Amino acid sequence: MGLVDVAVLAAVEGAAQALPISATGHGAAARLWLRAVDGGAWAVPAQLAAAAALAIAVRQRLRSALGEGVRGLARPSLFRASPPARDAALLALGAAVSLLVAAALRPYAARWGHAPLAAGLGLLATGAALASTAIAPRRADREETDAPSLAGMIAAGAAHGVAALPGGSRVGAALVLLLWLGVRPARAVELALALSIPALLVSGLAEARALHGPVPAAAATLSLLAAFAGAAAGAAALRALAERRRTAALALWIIPLGLAMVAYAQALPGPYWRRPSAIIAPQTVPSPSTVPS
């Protein structure tokens, strides 16, 4: 895979990790467009760079939460009295639930991660969830909350973990649930992005262990830069959309993409699109002349 392809895939990965548009779904679509094999080498630095960009995007909230969280270990009463300490407890709980759920679903995500049909159906579900925020109850500012309850954060963490399946968006799943729970949009974005940092670090390190050789320096550098830029731009765009309560508009892109992926899968010969390895090497992808009409 050429360096241009690496840059495109890494930038898509970074942006889709920050925006609620599904990194797995867009990665599948990008690989089909580029006729590229996902060897995993570029994905490791891309995921780590995306995690760094998200950490910078929510650095103020993370800094205060970590500081008060450490103090709260010595003075547990802070977790009730200090909002930053409560943030630390909620984020730790949500991240733990997310990682556990994602680990339980990992065999299914690995099995169907490259299947166009699975990615398309996941994109449709993601788009429908985002579209639902347009009809979410809108409370007056004074009635909105800065943080969900413990039960609400557990639910957000579980949704975040389930969205590791193909076509899902971890940021999107947590964001949609938090908005329906009445969390202020800006705070919901910060919590959803912060929840994704541990998931990206764990996923990137797991893929690094699975690599069979070193990542080429040029590909690693380009992947780092492209993914970081994509994630930083995506986080800024998501914050702007949430503040204007326009996150539902992203469904206008995600749903058509999901329909296109489903149509592509259905156009393939039956046994072919059912296989999890449906996105494979360029020479084995059927040309339009071989796809049944």
Compute the radius of gyration of the chain from its Cα atoms.
19
**What confidence tier does 140 reach under pLDDT thresholds 50, 70, 90?**
low
Helix (H/G/I), strand (E/B), else coil: 13: helix
What is the per-residue pLDDT across 225-261, written as a single tens digit (0 to 9) for each? Answer: 999 999 999 999 999 999 899 999 999 999 999 999 9
What is the per-residue pLDDT across 143-199, written as a single tens digit (0 to 9) for each? Answer: 667 789 999 999 999 999 999 999 999 999 999 999 999 999 999 999 999 999 999
Mean pLDDT of the chain: 85
User: Which pLDDT score, from 0 to 100, does residue 285 have?
Assistant: 43
Please name which of 16, 75, 30 lies closest in space to residue 193, comparing C-alpha atoms.
16
Residue 186 corresponds to which tokens in the numbers above?
A: 């800006």
Cα–Cα distance between 41 and 12 in angstroms, integer? 15
The alpha carbon of residue 64 and the mean position of all alpha carbons in its chain are separated, in whole angstroms, by 24
Residue 20 corresponds to which tokens in the numbers above?
A: 């609620």
Q: Evaluate if residue 292 carries a pLDDT over 70.
A: no
Q: Residue 221 is which amino acid? A: T
Helix (H/G/I), strand (E/B), else coil: 176: helix
Portion of the chain with pLDDT greater than 70, in percent: 85
Backbone angles phi, psi at 183, to 5 degrees: -75, 140
